[in-house]
Structure formats: structure tokens, C-alpha cells
Structure 1
Amino acid sequence: MPTPDPARRSEHARQAIIAAAFELCAERGFAATTIEAIAARAGVGKTTIYRWWPSKAAILAEGVEIQRDASATFPDTGDIWTDLATQTGNVTRLFDTEFGAIWRGLIAAAQTEEYAADSVRRILRGSIDAALARLAGARDAGQLRPDLDLELTVELIYGPLYHAWLLRTRPFPPSYMQSVLTALKPALAPAPEPAPAHD
């Protein structure tokens, strides 16, 4: 008879806990989600949860990072505008799922809970660094102005996305970000080459 693999069993429990936390947060909201409820739904004891995470924010942050990495990576087709449209469209669709409810809850909790704030900053930093790397490649390829402040460029691109999504100030279809990119392109793209002078 084969010996049970503790690592496999632990990984199964870990995934069950993350899934339970996501489900409960989507159903009840961040504030009403408790470690006790997560443990009950995942079929584990609270001590199992605290062995791996210090708080519900930590569980949810890990789940957010996993889903974000799977859905919001940057393509590189060689055309920065196509890649930005694809990536921001993917993010917009991701925000319209259970993931969005959890991410919104973490952002709200970050206003008062230091661990949630640290998690949000860490997750955002990873996304910002990925965007910076793709923008730097496009700048080096001559697709963006050479004098751009790339950190500011990331804020210009993603600021409207977060404003519309968090504050719900307007409809937020995936095509919204195409409109944003179209508006930004004249400010970010290199100046056109001057027409040759004619005698």
C-alpha cells in the first residue's frame, strides 16, 4: 500500500483554503469573511490556516497574485499599442469576475489594515514592474518617446482603468481601455518625422 504524500495533502488543503476564501469574499464581502468561515468551508482547522497565513488578507492576496499572474501578463508581439490593448482588455475582463470583488475588497481593507496595505502595494509593484519592462522595450524600439517618464506613463495608462472601475463613474466594458489608449497615443508616441524640405 503506497504511503500518503504529506506534501500533496498539504497542497490540496492550501488550494482549498484559497478557494474557500475567494468564494466567501465574493459572496459576503471582505469585512464579513472570517477565518472561522474559511476553515469551515475548506474543511480544515483554523490552526492549519494560521500555519501558512497570518490573516484573511494574506490568503486573499496570495489568491489574487495567482490569478493575476495567469490572466494579466504582458504579451510582446512587437507592437506596444496592440500589446497594451490586449493586456488592459484582459485586466478589464478580469476585474468583472470574482477576482474583481476580492481585489476591490483588499483595496478597501488597505485603507485601514496595514497587512492588506502591504499586500496591495506588493501586488501592484509586481504589475507596475511588468508594465515598465514592456514599456522600456517599446521605448528602446522607437515606439514611444525617448524622454518618457515610464512610471508616470504607467499611471497615465492604468489610472483611468482604476478610476472607472473602483468609483464606478461610467460603464466599464473591455473596449473602454482602447478609448483611453487612443487618447494617450499622441502624447506617448514619438513625434512624426518632419516632411523633407522642397526647393
Structure 2
Amino acid sequence: MANPKTPDATRRSERSRRAIFDAALELVGEVGFDKLTIEGIAARAGVGKQTIYRWWPSKAAVLLDAFIGDAGDEEIELPDTGDLEADLKFVLRATADEFNDPSFEAPYRALAIAGANDPELSRQFVSRLQDTGVQAYVNRLHKAREAGTIAADTDLRIAAEMLVSPFAQRWLMRSGPLTHEFTDTLVEQVLRGIATR
């Protein structure tokens, strides 16, 4: 009689990891970060809480990995149609749509708030998520500077932050809606300041 196949531990681990990620993202949307618990994630995922603690030190760490997924390993590239203003408007409009989606907004807001009280989480959040996004803007602005569209002495990092920081501030503080009109105006104002004279 043939021996039964040995279970593939790697596949089982990946299934468990995916179930944990799905559970964390679902639960943070349902109960919020304060009421999110390792026990709740484990129960929803159908795993023991010791499995979660073997891979992550806290609920915030689980949520960060769940939210970033594989995206943190990929370089982001903004479109380059040759029209910097149109490209930036396209990207910021899409970003506004994403931030207005509750399934994106709940975990991102939870991580932003948790990071304010946890320096290590904040460092990881910035290095794995925010810096990647800002660098994509820097890279696109670099191409525009080489093409002579923006002033040669433009500090590209500051210019990129001028595009994303007011957006992030408005969203985080809920000081106004993230509309396409807002993002278009933001792009126009920033480009007016850095355009070649």
C-alpha cells in the first residue's frame, strides 16, 4: 500500500498567512484598530494565536504586512506620457479614489494612528510604504527636470512632498473631501511654483 503524501508545510503556511491577512483587513474595517485583537484575528483566520505570535510581535505588525502584501517589494513607477501635469493629475485622482474606498481607508488610517504611538511601526510604515510612493514622484519629476519642464534647481524630494503632504494632511485630519478638483488644483499650484521660467 502506497504511503500517503506528506503534507506540504510551505503551502499550509502560505494558506495560514493569507487567512491571517484577510482576517486582519476584514476585522479592522468592522471593529476598528482599538478593538482589533490577535485573538480575534486568529479566530477569524482559523489558526491558533501562537501561530500569529510566531510570525508577528503585535497586531499592528500583522496589519502592516497584510496591508502592504507584496506591494512593498515592488518599485512604483508613475506614468510618463510626456505631459507632467496630466500624469500627476491622473495619479493623484486615482489615489484619491483609493483613499475614499473604505476597504483601503480603514487599515491605512489604523496604521497611521498606531504609528503615532509606536516609533518602530512608524519607521516601518514610512520605509516600506510612504517612502516608496514619494520616490515614485521624485523619479517622475527627475524626468521632467531632465526634459526642461521644471526648473533645474528644483529640490525633487521637496517638490514630491509638496504634492503628497497636503493630500495626506487633508485625509488624516478629515479637513476636507479628497476630490478630483482638489487633486487637480494641488498639481496646478505645485507645478506653477516649480515650472521652468
- Give me the TM-score of the superposition, normalised by structure 1: 0.86
Q: CA RMSD in A?
A: 2.0
**Matched ranges for 1:35-50 at <5 A:** 35-50=38-53
Report if aligned partners of 2:134, 2:164 keep a CA contact under 8 Å in 1: no
Q: Match for residue 196 of structure 1? A: none
State the 1:56 CA deviation: 1.3
CA displacement, residues 65-123 of structure 1 (integer Å, 9 cap, x when unaligned): 238669x7522323222221121112111111221111111111111122321222212
Aligned pair 1:81/2:90, yes or no? Answer: no
**Matched ranges for 1:4-43 at <5 A:** 4-43=7-46
CA displacement, residues 141-162 of structure 1 (integer Å, 9 cap, x when unaligned): 2222111011111121112211
Aligned pair 1:187/2:193, yes or no? Answer: yes
**Matched ranges for 1:65-144 at <5 A:** 65-66=68-69, 74-97=78-101, 98-122=103-127, 123-144=129-150
Structure 1: runs of 5 or more not aligned: 192-199
1:146 to 152, 170, 176: 152
Q: How far, CA to CA, are the matches of 1:108 and 1:60 in structure 2?
A: 12
Structure 2: runs of 5 or more not aligned: none
Moved over 4 A (4+): 67-70
Report if aligned partners of 1:128, 1:154 keep a CA contact under 8 Å in 2: yes
**Cα 1:165/1:68, change in 2 over 3 Å:** farther
Aligned length: 190
Q: How far, CA to CA, are the matches of 2:154 and 2:182 in structure 1?
A: 24
**Equivalent residue of 2:67, what SS?**
helix
